[in-house]
Amino acid sequence: MKRAPQIRLRTLFLIFICAAVGMTIGASPGPIPPDHNPFGIAAPPRTNWSDALLAAASTAMLIGLAHQAQLICRSRAVADSVDQPFTFAIWFAVVWRVLLAALLIVCLLAEMLIARQLVNLPPSNAHAVYKVFPQIVWLCCVLVVLSAAVMRWKAMPEVQRVGPLRFFAIWSVGFGLAAIIYTDLTLITFLVHTATAGINAHIPVHINRQGVFPNHRQEGFQTFWIAFAAVVGALVASASLVSLNAAPQTARRKQWARLAMFATGVAASGTYAIWYYGWEFHRISPDIASVEPASNWVEFMGGALILLILITAGACRLTQMRGKLTGSVNPLPAPTEIFFHESAIAIAVLFGFVGLHVVRVIQNSLEAPAFPFFAGSFGQTLLYVFRDVLNLIMLGVGILSAQLGWLRWRRRGELTDIRIASMNGKTFCLNWVALALLLGVGIPTAAAFAFVMWLGPWWLFG
């Protein structure tokens, strides 16, 4: 006779905590017009189930990260007796889990205060349908936790290396998606530029501004081609950095050649960014160039946090490409139970969160005839989905949740050790600085190219 499945009292307590946090953040007072609320009575709460499910899943991730950090900390005494790269890897595994858990707590508290209308974010002129902080930062943390969980449950005898071609292909896909997003975001800027250029063209010559709004066709589209060359330089620098880490045992002459290519690409993109924003932008569109950034300090802080997450994750992967990755690490204590954020109920909550977002996207597309979701070709439908940052992040959360759910189902009843990859601290720091330099010049270059692309030969031909 089979025994009925049992749920531990501690598990019920943790579920209650996650549900309480989720309902606290999801239940926010609804706005009431002042004419109908003369006495300032608070509106009855309305539940945002999407935020409630995400908050509950994030609370489960906090519990799971704390549990993992505790298990890894027990191996610090053992780490002193092994090689230095493994010692750094153990400390890194603890630190990133603690910092990510702290960032999740900050996002949860910020969302709770915003939902309860105790804190109001400063106004922004960016007119985005999402908030960089805490919404996008919060989702980026969720992506990192899910990625780590999926890698742990793949259960390979050795963590496989990602080949240089595959790694570069992943970065190229990311760059392509960024180009689509950037180009879509600069459409309104291009339309405003076209309007201001038309007004300037009809102003009498004796009061007209000279040396601005050039004819790009007469110049041979030099602004576009220079921007294109700067983007190619950034891609060459990315490929060189990947190659440096993917083949560390090659001849020293080839290593110096790749390092020179990286430095040349970064220098070329950085020089272009300085030249474009310092002089060229004011020449081709002086009115737009004179406008201050639409984002506020909270959005800049959120963007900086996202960059820190991306740079750290990228530096970790690049460093692991150089070292020999270990499989199940014997000195680490094996978990006696499934980590809470990898449990079936946590994965189901994430599925519900992504499902609600898909329903909302379809509902909004049906209510907005200007952007029909089901009208047009399949390519137009994909472009409608992929041009939005929030949809891309939700797609990533959905794919990783499905992958984790499949791995958990395939290996149901099993426990998986925490896998630590050997990492050299000096190499990690060098990769971190290199990625920071690359993104520091690559993002402004990509933003400039996204606007200049509208002025290129394909859009102004004929």
Query: Tens of pLDDT along 122-136?
Result: 776 655 556 788 888
- Residues lower than pLDDT 50 in the chain: 1, 30-42, 81, 156-159, 325-331, 369-375, 461-462
Quickly list DSSP for 25-61. HHEEEPP--GGG-TT-PPPPEEE-HHHHHHHHHHHHH
Structural domain contains residue 460: no
448 residue type, one letter: A
pLDDT of 410: 85
| Structural domain harbouring 259 | 10-31+44-200+218-455
Quickly list DSSP for 408-454. HHHTTT---PPB-----HHHHHHHHHHHHHHHHHHHHHHHHHHHHGG
Structural domain contains residue 4: no
Structural domain contains residue 37: no
Number of structural domains found in the chain: 1
Distances (CA, A) of 462 to 45, 242, 454, 458: 57, 41, 14, 9
pLDDT of 162: 54
Quote the crossing angle between the two packed helices 252-275 and 222-246, to the nearest 10°. Answer: 150
Name residue 27's beta-bridge partners.
47
User: Residues 237, 261: contact at Cβ < 8 Å?
Assistant: yes
User: Residues 443, 175: contact at Cβ < 8 Å?
Assistant: no
Strands (E), 341-398: none
Structural domain contains residue 209: no
Structural domain contains residue 332: yes
Structural domain contains residue 211: no
- Reply yes or no: is the peptide bond before residue 134 cis, omega within 30 of 0: yes
H/E run at residue 318: helix 297-322
User: Residues 378, 118: contact at Cβ < 8 Å?
Assistant: no
Pairwise CA distance, residues 208 & 204, whole Å: 6
Q: In this prediction, what percent of the chain has a pLDDT beyond 70?
A: 74
User: Residues 153, 408: contact at Cβ < 8 Å?
Assistant: yes
Tell whether pTM > 0.85.
no
Structural domain contains residue 206: no
Structural domain contains residue 293: yes
